[in-house]
Amino acid sequence: MSHQQYPSVLLENAVNEFSRLPGIGRKTALRLALHLLRQPVTEAVKLGEAVIKLREDIRYCRVCHNISDTEVCQICSHPGRDTSTVCVVENIRDVMSIENTQQFRGLYHVLGGIISPMDGIGPADLEINSLVERVKTDGIREIILALSTTMEGDTTNFYLFRKLAPLDVKVTTIARGISIGDELEYADEVTLGRSILNRVEFSDSYK
């Protein structure tokens, strides 16, 4: 769309900015902007300020590197969490996903990505040294590697394992296998093969 087709530069700017967001095309951006025009001024101000404050005021926990409103995040500073177990994840969203399962009461360590030579991301770009430091000083007994089950995830798992093996810590990875509710005939061969190799005692599988 050319400039001429917007009746207002203010509208055009808002459409331009909205459409820079992932998954938002110019049509959707226009719909969002026109919606805001029909709302009270306070609505637009609340949205605008929330967006600016989010980016300007956000902090990262100095222990686990998750986002936080405080120097140490609410998970790291929670008295009820098991500080001897640390789950290593790629990003903030993974922390939220695992928290949602309510199956984990330990702490986290957010790498900030995974090793991906294709994208130019090497070990030095990730929070790996700080993880090693935590293991050396914080009395951690188990590190759970909870990375994507992709080539990059596997590469990162191996790299981390090599770094952590000399230290006095148990290293585990999340279980890989058939998704709950899936029928075997639709599972891919690699997953099915792994799920047989990594079979568990029947009684343990319903823990």
Which range in 11-19, 121-129, 158-166, 184-192 contacts a second copy by CB under 8 A? 11-19
Q: How many residues does the chain have?
A: 207
- 137's CB contacts (< 8 A; 6+ apart) are none
Between 45 and 200, CB nearer to a second copy: 45
Query: Which string of x and - marks every residue 95-134 that binds a second copy (by CB under 8 A)?
Result: xx--xx----------------------------------
In this structure, what token pair is assigned to residue 177?
């296998």
Q: Is 69 in the site for a second copy (CB under 8 A)?
A: yes
Query: Which string of x and - marks every residue 39-58 that binds a second copy (by CB under 8 A)?
Result: x-x-xxxxxxxxxxxxxxxx
**Integer Cα distance of 82 and 167 in angstroms:** 20
**Integer Cα distance of 24 and 30 in angstroms:** 10
Which range in 85-93, 117-125, 154-162, 167-175 contacts a second copy by CB under 8 A? 85-93
**Integer Cα distance of 155 and 118 in angstroms:** 12
Between 66 and 157, CB nearer to a second copy: 66
> CB 71 → a second copy: shortest distance, Å?
13
Between 67 and 171, CB nearer to a second copy: 67
Name the burial class of residue 22, with classes exposed (0-12), middle (13-18) and buried (19+) by CB atoms within 10 angstroms of its CB. exposed
Question: CA of 90: how far to CAs of 93, 97, 99, 199, 201, in Å?
Answer: 8, 12, 14, 26, 30
Q: Is 163 in the site for a second copy (CB under 8 A)?
A: no
> CB 166 → a second copy: shortest distance, Å?
31
Between 13 and 172, CB nearer to a second copy: 13
Helices then strands, counting H and E runs in the chain, come out as 7, 6
> CB 4 → a second copy: shortest distance, Å?
8
Which of the residues 16 through 35 are near a second copy (CB under 8 A)? Answer: 16-18, 20-24, 28, 30-35
Contact 103, 175 (CB under 8 A): no
**Integer Cα distance of 21 and 15 in angstroms:** 10
What is the end-to-end Cα distance of the chain in Å, rounded? 58
- Applying CB under 8 A, the residues found at the interface with a second copy are 1, 4-11, 13-14, 16-18, 20-24, 28, 30-37, 39, 41, 43-58, 66-69, 73-75, 91-93, 95-96, 99-100
